[in-house]
Amino acid sequence: MNTPVDAARPTIFFLHALGMSAREFDGVAARLADTADVVALDLPGFGDASAASGVSVDAMAALVVRKVRRHAPGRWLLVGHSMGGKIASVVASRALAGEHGLFGLSGVVLLAASPPTPEPMSDDDRAEKRAMADGGAIDAASARAFVDANLGAPLDPPSDATAVADVQRASAEAWTAWFDRGSREDWSETVGVLDVPAVILAGGSDGDLGEAAQRELNGRVYPRAQVHVLEGAGHLLPLERPDEVAAAIRDLWRDEAGTGPVVPVDVVRTLASSRVSTQTRALHARRVLADDPRYRPVVVDEAQLQTLRVLSDRIVPQRAPEPRQAIDLAARVDARVGSGRGDGWRNAALPPDPEAYRRGLDELAGFGDLSRAEQDALVTAIIAGEHEPRSDDFTAEQMTLWFEDCRVDLVRTWLSHPATMSRIGYDGYANGGDGPRFQGFQLLAADAREAWEPTMEAARTQAAPTEAAR
């Protein structure tokens, strides 16, 4: 599906709770119409898909993957409510693992979500809820009781009628499959830890999937997530608190998930295609995720990190229309150095990278207080080996050697982002996918372009590095 897509506007995929349908998000979707394109799905066995097969967690996740592929969005969010939260986590893990057709995941929102681990539920409660479908169709009285048990306060009449009717529309197969298998399955090893912008909402009056469960079971999966409690709300958050749910989604997009440079849609579609290997796609999927505005340094301290940020602005001036659209190169370099994943070598005259960065940045303390001309003069002196060190911890020669490594790290980090690759006209990542139908480049002559290559439209948020970086 190659319909025009606004790369700066997200698509939100809504995944509903057990017994509900896409209709439970009507109020939330209406409130987000000015922010995003909305795709609310009926999962197999529920809503208008009550007769559909494939009611397992794996089959539901596969359906969502197909929907994302069909819509082919530039950037997209997953919003999962209760049962849908477990499905959202499985799909998010597949996107970050580089599954074919999935690229551009920007964030996840969990609403009273079932975790990747078995859902906390007593045997008696499980048996009682499962029994609602023992006779086949769920009767009106049982549907009424189920909705009431999941509310913190009564719903408005239209929402209440929708919720009860949706429970009655659920197929007995899908209902019992969730209690017998889906809610019991442990996907935690497959899902792992998802380093993606996220927000988790919990109902203050929810039961098994309330605040404690969300912090303990879903919080560990999403280390970047902020957890918010909607006091007085029960389990049916999209119906009970559409204003607050919509606000949480909008805030996540505005403050984190929607920040950073925009990758052109044709580049996104190329990265999602079979011309890119799973391993390469996974690598780029993590590179495009927005930087964490709450990032805490792991190698340097806060003052040193700020110095590195000012330095990176001089070495690689991104000239983003606004700061939120730039890559936080300093934080990414700090995280990489802290991870121990280097380029396989270091100059013998320098201490290990973490210590070299701390010493080098201490030498540059106050760099941000200098004028532009003074900054340029200092950078020039360091490159030439003429900088006079402030202490005996770092010689002039060591400062020059470290500064060379620092410039390489900053520029390499900038260049590794797909938005930068688009700007400079590089698409070498599409050098062949997985399996026997390996699809690489056929036209290798100068100025020859394959018909499928992205157009490489300019990424307006990026700029070329300065002479100092070269």
Same domain, 155 and 186: yes
Per the structure, the complete domain to which residue 83 belongs is given by 11-257
Strand partners, 38: 12
Q: Identify whether 466 is part of a domain.
A: no
Same domain, 31 and 170: yes
Report yes or no: 193 and 217 within 8 Å, Cβ to Cβ.
no
Closest by Cα among 365, 409, 395, 401 to 383: 401
Separation of alpha carbons 91 and 85, rounded Å: 10
pLDDT for residue 353 is more than 70: yes
Separation of alpha carbons 107 and 105, rounded Å: 6
Same domain, 247 and 374: no
Same domain, 236 and 273: no
* pLDDT above 70 coverage of the chain, percent: 94
Per-residue tokens: 184:
């019991």
Q: What is the pLDDT of residues 231-280, one digit of tens each?
A: 999 999 999 999 999 999 999 999 999 999 999 999 999 999 989 999 99
Separation of alpha carbons 239 and 423, rounded Å: 43
Report yes or no: 218 and 117 within 8 Å, Cβ to Cβ.
no
pLDDT score, position 446 = 73
Banded model confidence at residue 439, pLDDT cuts 50, 70, 90: confident
Which amino acid is it at 321?
A: P
Same domain, 208 and 308: no
Q: Final residue of a domain: which of 257, 280, 306? A: 257
Which amino acid is it at 177?
A: A
Q: Identify whether 452 is part of a domain.
A: no
Per-residue tokens: 48:
């208008």
Q: Identify whether 78 is part of a domain.
A: yes
Q: What is the pLDDT of residues 191-231, one digit of tens each?
A: 999 999 999 999 999 999 999 999 999 999 999 999 999 99
Task: Specify the pairing of strand 76-81 against strand 37-41.
Answer: unpaired
Element at 276 (helix H, strand E): none
Same domain, 183 and 102: yes
Q: Identify whether 26 is part of a domain.
A: yes
Same domain, 249 and 379: no
At residue 3, the 3 state secondary structure works out as coil
pLDDT for residue 455 is more than 90: no
Q: Final residue of a domain: which of 223, 257, 291? A: 257
Which amino acid is it at 320?
A: A
Same domain, 194 and 291: no
Q: Identify whether 436 is part of a domain.
A: no
Please state the φ and ψ torsions of residue 415, each to the nearest 5 degrees: -70, -25
pLDDT for residue 175 is more than 80: yes
Separation of alpha carbons 421 and 417, rounded Å: 6
Separation of alpha carbons 405 and 126, rounded Å: 58
pLDDT for residue 465 is more than 80: no
Same domain, 249 and 367: no
Task: Specify the pairing of strand 226-230 against strand 198-203.
Answer: parallel
pLDDT score, position 436 = 67
Q: Please tell me which residue, 428 or 358, carries the higher pLDDT value.
A: 358
pLDDT score, position 456 = 61
Same domain, 165 and 290: no
pLDDT for residue 343 is more than 90: no
pLDDT score, position 437 = 62
Q: Identify whether 86 is part of a domain.
A: yes
Q: What is the pLDDT of residues 412-424, one digit of tens each?
A: 999 999 999 998 9
pLDDT score, position 470 = 40
Q: What is the pLDDT of residues 372-426, one digit of tens each?
A: 999 999 999 999 999 998 888 899 999 999 999 999 999 999 999 999 999 898 9
Same domain, 218 and 351: no
Length of the chain: 470
As for how many domains the chain has, the answer is 2
On the CB side of 174, CA atoms within 13 Å amount to 31
